[in-house]
């Protein structure tokens, strides 16, 4: 059976937001998921602060999780006194029941993703990968933990530069888009340790289908 990836995420400390900010957050999440969508991807926003994203492009799952966190970090910059970030659990597996919505579907990909999110809340971490292969999971989650330490510390400016680099834009193209000089983009990417994060994403993409 063909594997899929399910990303289940929620916003850290979203219950502390006032109603106006919650509404802004929900609107942002819809925009983030639409921006991430390609081909047969499906998604949903639940309760205004949680998301599920289904993609058949399993190799891109880790990259999409990082991109989601990037967009959330810079998308709400300036609207809150505290940094906004998300926990995201990636489940790799199959679909045994395809419902009308992503949230009503089922399969190992959904179960792994849900289990991972529960563990993230308990461990107070923000990214996890579960595939059902214990050996792969151990390797991927050591990488995920180290990646998370870096990503959690990103500023909104770093997250924005990383996002555009992660989708293939050159530093000059990013500079033009953000109306800054190329050297400023380079500084943001270097301070965000983007080269190291990219190596982790490439490793995942090479080995997830092993």
Query: What's the pLDDT tens digit per position in 82-91?
Result: 578 899 999 9
Report the 3 state secondary structure along the chain: CCCEEEEEEEECCHHHCCHHHHHHHHHHHHHHHHHHCCCCCEEEEECCCEEEEEECCHHHHHHHHHHHHHHHHHHCCCCCCCCCCEEEEEEEECCCECCCCHHHCECHHHHHHHHHHHHHHHHCCCEEEECCCHHHHHHHHHHHHHHHHHHHCCCHHHHHHHHHHHCCCCHHHHHHHHCCCHHHHHHHHHHCCHHHHHHHHHHHHHHCCC
Mean pLDDT for 141-168 is: 95
Instruction: Write down the pLDDT at residue 57.
Output: 95
Instruction: Write down the pLDDT at residue 82.
Output: 55
Reference 99, options 20, 46, 42, 24; nearest CA is 42
Superfamily of domain covering 4-207:
Reverse transcriptase/Diguanylate cyclase domain (3.30.70.270)
**Domain coordinates in residue numbering, the chain:** 4-207
| Contact yes or no for 87/65 (Cβ under 8 A) | no
202 Cβ contact list (under 8 Å, min separation 6): none
| Contact yes or no for 47/8 (Cβ under 8 A) | no
Mean pLDDT for 169-174 is: 98
Query: What global pTM score does this model have?
Result: 0.93
Residues 43-61 pLDDT 10s: 999 988 999 999 999 999 9
20 Cβ contact list (under 8 Å, min separation 6): none
Lowest-confidence segment of 2-16, 106-120, 150-164 by average pLDDT: 2-16
| pLDDT exceeds cutoff 90 at 111 | yes
| pLDDT exceeds cutoff 80 at 2 | yes
């Amino acid at each position: 059976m063909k594997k899929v990836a399910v990303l289940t995420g929620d916003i850290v400390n979203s219950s502390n937001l006032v109603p106006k900010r919650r509404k802004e957050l929900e609107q942002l999440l819809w925009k983030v998921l639409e921006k991430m969508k390609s081909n047969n991807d499906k998604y949903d926003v639940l309760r205004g602060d949680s998301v599920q994203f289904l993609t058949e492009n399993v190799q891109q799952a880790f990259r999409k999780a990082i991109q989601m966190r990037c967009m959330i970090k810079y998308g709400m910059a300036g609207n809150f006194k505290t940094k906004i970030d998300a926990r995201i659990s990636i489940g790799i597996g199959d679909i045994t029941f395809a419902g009308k919505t992503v949230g009503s579907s089922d399969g190992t990909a959904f179960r792994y993703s849900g289990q991972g999110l529960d563990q993230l809340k308990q461990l107070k971490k923000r990214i996890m990968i579960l595939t059902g292969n214990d050996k792969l999971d151990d390797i991927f989650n050591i990488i995920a933990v180290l990646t998370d330490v870096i990503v959690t510390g990103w500023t909104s400016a770093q997250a924005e530069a990383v996002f555009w680099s992660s989708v293939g834009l050159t530093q000059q193209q990013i500079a033009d888009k953000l109306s800054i000089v190329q050297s400023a983009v380079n500084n943001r990417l270097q301070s965000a340790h983007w080269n190291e994060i990219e190596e982790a994403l490439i490793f995942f993409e090479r080995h997830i289908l092993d």
